[in-house]
Structure 1
């Protein structure tokens, strides 16, 4: 199936979706983030076909989100996040907070995050980079930026 290319749209959401906008990519990034880094491990964890996993990993490598590192003489690789990929995990942490709030149910969140700086269990909290106040959808006005469509 041919994917729609969103990379040329004048929209940062569309461009981000061009990198991770199908369901397997965020889950692959999650696995690599938590240390599941070899092809066979990722495949076993996700139950994904070899063909789809190969396509997704190649796309993530091409996008500069993960990198391959050989781990033996045969063409076998570990996958690791790049700096670009680590920032995408920040986005996944925001998605996790939403899922924990609205979808976790009585069982509660399946994963907790311990903050290195203070040692406490916490969650992502969007704040304004200038004043430090909470920053959510109804706290901002979207305005055209320098890269907006004409």
Structure 2
């Protein structure tokens, strides 16, 4: 009696094709998950910087060091360790704002075909704008 062991080449190729199809379907979903996670972290760090600015305001009576200078943000990139995905900075020049107002922005780095900016105002409004092919679309973030 002949006992067959192992897999045929056809069976192995079929498994490889199925794995390829599953991988092709799962990769965009995974990349979307990673981008949403990075975006959420950038928003959390913008809020952390906003808390710093509120404490600064209560100590100094202004969000600014001088009429033309902002204080240094405690967290200038997201994530704070590892490869930076977002640059965090003030979105306005201090000389163009009053002492009781600021805008913080997180600008996504390393994206060739689009520009993504998340802004947080002193009033707590968070807005995400994406510019692709010359068209900018903005949405409020909840």
Q: Same fold (TM over 0.5)?
A: no
**Structure of greater relative contact order (alpha carbons < 8 Å, 6+ residues apart):** 1
Larger radius of gyration: 2
TM-score, length-scaled by structure 1: 0.25
TM-score, length-scaled by structure 2: 0.25
Q: Greater share of helix residues, 1 or 2? A: 1
Q: Greater share of strand residues, 1 or 2? A: 2
